[in-house]
Amino acid sequence: MAAVKDTVKTVEALEKYAHGFVTDIEQEFAEKGLNADTVRFISAKKDEPAWMLDWRLEAFERWLAMDEPDWAKLAYPPIDYQGAYYYAAPKDKNAGPKSLDEVDPELLATYAKLGIPLREQEVLAGVVGSPRYAVDAVFDSVSVVTTFKKELAEAGVIFCPLSEAVRDHPDLVKKYLGTVVPVSDNYFACLNSAVFSEGSFVYVPPGVRCPMELSTYFRINAEETGQFERTLIIADKGSYVSYLEGCTAPKRDENQLHAAVVELVALDDAEIKYSTVQNWYPGDAEGKGGIYNFVTKRADCRGARAKVAWTQVETGSAITWKYPSCILRGDESVGEFYSIAITNNRQQADTGTKMIHLGRNTRSRIISKGISAGRSSNTYRGLVSAHPKAIGARNFTQCDSLLIGKHCAAHTVPYIEARNAHAHFEHEATTTRLSDDQLFYVMQRGLNQEEAVQLLVNGFVKDVLQQLPMEFAVEAQKLVAVSLEGSVG
Amino acid sequence: MLSIKNLHARVGDAEILKGLSLDVPAGEVHAIMGPNGAGKSTLSYVLTGRDGYEVTEGSATLDGEDLLALDPSERAAKGLFLSFQYPLEIPGVPALTFIRTALNSQRKARGEGEVPAPEFLKRARATAASLKMDFDMLRRGLNVGFSGGEKKRMEIFQMAMLSPRFLILDETDSGLDIDALRIVSEGVNAMRAPDRAMLVITHYQRLLDYVKPDKVHVLAGGRIVASGGPELAHELEKSGYDKYALEAA
């Protein structure tokens, strides 16, 4: 109960600077643009040891020599990397926000309908409703609060902002950071390595079942600011942890860059469930504004019988470029990917997964549900590969696309590489259009058009929603409905 | 109750209904029979408001209220129900969830509160039992993998749960074996009430042995060309539709 009170208090404290879609508080910025001094500035703000700064600077050097990838089915104007701020933080945690009245009523209405992310404290309060959730709240470039730390510490679980882990648990960070997603893995991951600002760090010791769900709530607030969070989760031998990530951003006319990196390490017999409800601002109906979401998420099933499950509900962002993947290194390790990706209006998503089978008798499962509406484009891109030594590797892939209306597009791009004769891969794919017959049938029973679309879509994505922790499944279901409003007729 | 006057309707460029008039008073069951292509299914779609069925002339009212101005869900909330000739499959949505959502949407549109879950479940169990349906079927995706007969039974189940005021049965007997036909008919007959009326659309007389109509109408060439008592159905069974088809042409 003490923990519940703690959280309630924490949430009350949050309220002070968590109002509205644009929280109007004084913030401290790095100088606009990106150079080695920006990297030094961020590192200094985080009070980092020299080894961390060196790591960042090396990443920055490498990034300068890299080119932005262009293989995804996405079209967007060139990103001006010098036109953004790379660090923004509330200057004074007691600075009061201005009133909600200043927020665009359309936005207020949207989020009131959702019953949540209007004010962070409501989201967090919703989470408190089930007291078994610990929350790390990240606001632009800093973590503002982490709840339940004490109770988790009693179980031996470390849950804190990454910057704190760099200072307090340098050995763990040094041992694992960049080992799943190497510094120069790709253009955006490399940029992140140089300028990452905040994110969560989780370590679950051997044999410990984390006593509650962990979650991080990311919020972009400042204008012309990129967010570059970095999350590192380590599940030691025989441990278990379930983690949920949520995110929102204010509505702005400019595009904002979000380039995150998430690394998961599962050792022998460990299990990690990682769920995302991604609700970044998607831009308006004409495609103006919205978040550019270039994210690298990867899990390493480093030990035998390790298991990682990714579940994602992607409704936001103007551009999504994201492939949560599993390296199935340990023998008999298991990777799962469950995804709902919704695009409406002029959103573009190129998302999917990679299942890299390296160990013997490794198994993976991919269930992807893509929904396109409006004039959007939705691409599933996935790789399933088996190394010569991955004898007995098995994969099952189910890839379904649902089209709503006549001007959207769905693409499925699966890559399958079996380098041994004893791998067993199955791939099923369907593309269907939301049928007028079904809509009429449902409306004849009394549902209006919006309700009818919601019901049909929720039926379509049910297999994936079932994989989410229950509270978030409900949230995700509402989100699905709101994302598709006005998509028919 | 239902009053249709001089109804003209087209699908694309083809005029299908050409001045159809019909009155079905409360408490009565009327059968519509007719050859293929006469416009029977078109009539059911025009009454329920399906997209693509354009009314060019005439009126249709339910208890004096204009139906044609309403969208399909509003008509449903007014108590209009269509049992489909080919019920649709709705993957991922259990039948129970579907019907409860529909019932609550209708109630909301009428300004009524939601049905409490225990009451709903109790009614669902009793209704399923009366239609000899396996209750587990109601927990599966609506109509997914059901046989033709099971789908028809599910339509009657939905009808009983939604308790509409005006029922349209479109070829409900097609695809039913004799036992299923009897059970379905019993379900339909149980719905007969003084404040409720039905329009039974059928190509064959068979269903009318079980669901006895008060009146029988022959629809041919987009109009009602003959009306009579139940004996008219028997006569049609013997002599066929040829003479009406010719008349209509």
Q: Is there a contact between A441 and B88 if contact means CB atoms under 8 Å apart? A: yes
Rounded distance between C-alpha atoms, residue A411 and residue A153, angstroms: 46
Q: Are A25 and A95 in contact (CB under 8 A)?
A: yes
Rounded distance between C-alpha atoms, residue A62 and residue A160, angstroms: 29
At residue A116 the predicted structure's pLDDT band, cuts being 50, 70 and 90, is very low
At residue A5 the predicted structure's pLDDT band, cuts being 50, 70 and 90, is very low
Strand ranges (DSSP E) for A168-289?
200-204, 213-219, 230-235, 240-248, 255-258, 261-266, 271-278
B162 exposure class (CB count in 10 Å sphere: 0-12, 13-18, 19+): middle
Q: Is there a contact between A449 and B98 if contact means CB atoms under 8 Å apart? A: no
Rounded distance between C-alpha atoms, residue A402 and residue A121, angstroms: 34
At residue A98 the predicted structure's pLDDT band, cuts being 50, 70 and 90, is very low
Q: Are B169 and B83 in contact (CB under 8 A)?
A: yes
Query: What's the complex ipTM?
Result: 0.96
The answer on pLDDT for A94 being more than 70 is no
Rounded distance between C-alpha atoms, residue B20 and residue B47, angstroms: 12
> Mutate which of A442, A460, A488 to disrupt the B interface (most B C-beta within 10 Å)?
A442
A198: tokens are 């905040």
pLDDT tens, residue order, chain B (249 aa): 999 999 999 999 999 999 999 999 999 999 999 888 889 999 999 999 999 999 999 999 999 999 999 999 999 999 999 999 999 999 999 999 999 999 999 999 999 999 999 999 999 999 999 999 999 999 999 999 998 889 999 999 999 999 999 999 999 988 888 888 999 999 999 999 999 999 999 988 889 999 999 999 999 999 999 999 999 988 888 888 887 766 655
The more confidently predicted of residues A275 and A99 is A275
- Spell out which residues of chain B touch residue A445, defining contact as CB-CB under 8 Å: 76, 98-99, 102, 105, 158, 162
Tally of CA atoms within 13 A in the half-sphere of A243 that contains its CB: 29
Strand B197-202: give its sheet, edge to edge: B80-83, B166-170, B197-202, B29-33, B215-220, B223-228
Q: Is there a contact between B92 and A441 if contact means CB atoms under 8 Å apart? A: no
3-state secondary structure (DSSP) of residue A308: strand
Q: Is there a contact between B162 and A452 if contact means CB atoms under 8 Å apart? A: no
Q: How far is A441 from chain B (nearest CA, A)?
A: 7
The more confidently predicted of residues A481 and A437 is A437
The pLDDT of residue A305 is: 98
> Mutate which of B41, B42, B50, B84 to disrupt the A interface (most A C-beta within 10 Å)?
B50
The pLDDT of A138-165, averaged and rounded, is 77
Rounded distance between C-alpha atoms, residue A8 and residue A3, angstroms: 9
Residues 6+ apart with CB under 8 A from A237: A206, A207, A267, A268, A269, A270, A303
The pLDDT of residue B135 is: 92
Q: What percent of chain A has pLDDT over 90?
A: 52
A430: tokens are 């369907």
Q: What is the pLDDT of residues A227-249, one digit of tens each?
A: 898 999 999 999 999 998 876 66
The pLDDT of A178-192, averaged and rounded, is 96
The pLDDT of residue A479 is: 75
CA trace torsion B144, B150, B151, B155 (10° rounding): -130
Amino acid at B247: E
**Number of domains composing chain B:** 1
Angle, alpha carbons A239-A392-A264 (nearest 5°): 30
Segment (H or E) for B48: helix B40-48
Q: Residue A90: what are its φ and ψ, rounded to 5°?
A: -55, 130
Q: What is the pLDDT of residues A117-131, one digit of tens each?
A: 333 333 333 333 333
Provide the CATH number for the domain around residue B39.
3.40.50.300
Buried b / exposed e over A35-57, threshold 16 CB at 10 Å, is eeebbbbbbebbebeeebbebbe
Short-list A382, A422, A380, A426, CA closest to A402 = A380
Q: Are B215 and B227 in contact (CB under 8 A)?
A: yes
The pLDDT of A182-210, averaged and rounded, is 94
Q: How far is B101 from chain A (nearest CA, A)?
A: 8
Chain B: residues touching A (Cβ < 8 Å):
48, 50-52, 71-73, 75-77, 81-82, 84, 87-88, 90-93, 98-99, 101-103, 105-106, 109, 141, 158, 162
The pLDDT of residue A55 is: 96
Q: Which of B52, B90, B106 sits opposite A446 (nearest CB)?
A: B106
At residue A321 the predicted structure's pLDDT band, cuts being 50, 70 and 90, is very high
Alpha-helical runs (H) found in B70-229: 72-77, 95-109, 117-130, 148-162, 178-189, 206-210
Segment (H or E) for A337: strand A334-343
Supply the angle between the helices A120-128 and A470-483 in degrees, to the nearest 10. Answer: 140
The pLDDT of A356-375, averaged and rounded, is 95
Q: Which of A437, A444, A452 sits opposite B48 (nearest CB)?
A: A444
Range of the domain at B234: 2-248
The pLDDT of residue A488 is: 63
The pLDDT of residue A16 is: 26
Q: Which of A445, A455, A456 sits opposite B76 (nearest CB)?
A: A445
The pLDDT of A277-284, averaged and rounded, is 79
> Mutate which of A367, A398, A445 to disrupt the B interface (most B C-beta within 10 Å)?
A445
Rounded distance between C-alpha atoms, residue A250 and residue A282, angstroms: 10
- Spell out which residues of chain B touch residue A455, defining contact as CB-CB under 8 Å: 90, 93, 98, 101
pTM: 0.81
Conformational region of residue B98, where left means phi above 0, alpha means psi within -120 to 50, and beta covers everything else = alpha
The pLDDT of A290-318, averaged and rounded, is 93
- Spell out which residues of chain A touch residue B75, defining contact as CB-CB under 8 Å: 444
Q: What is the pLDDT of residues A300-313, one digit of tens each?
A: 999 999 999 999 98
A455 contacts chain B (CB < 8 A): yes
At residue A252 the predicted structure's pLDDT band, cuts being 50, 70 and 90, is low
The answer on pLDDT for A73 being more than 60 is yes
Rounded distance between C-alpha atoms, residue A287 and residue B3, angstroms: 49
Q: Are A360 and A396 in contact (CB under 8 A)?
A: no
Residues 6+ apart with CB under 8 A from A456: A434, A438, A439, A442, B90, B93
Name the β-bridge partners of A320: A293, A349
At residue A483 the predicted structure's pLDDT band, cuts being 50, 70 and 90, is confident
Rounded distance between C-alpha atoms, residue A186 and residue A79, angstroms: 16
Q: How far is B51 from chain A (nearest CA, A)?
A: 8
Query: Using DSSP, how many helices (H) and how many strands (E) does chain B show?
Result: 9, 12
The answer on pLDDT for A14 being more than 70 is no
- Spell out which residues of chain B touch residue A480, defining contact as CB-CB under 8 Å: none
The pLDDT of residue A49 is: 95
Residues 6+ apart with CB under 8 A from B59: B3, B4, B5, B6, B7, B66, B68
Q: Is there a contact between B51 and A440 if contact means CB atoms under 8 Å apart? A: yes
Residues 6+ apart with CB under 8 A from A430: A399, A400, A401
A477 contacts chain B (CB < 8 A): no
Q: Are A33 and A80 in contact (CB under 8 A)?
A: no
A137 contacts chain B (CB < 8 A): no
Residue in chain A nearest B107 by alpha carbon: A446
The pLDDT of A401-416, averaged and rounded, is 92
The pLDDT of residue A120 is: 35
The answer on pLDDT for A81 being more than 60 is yes
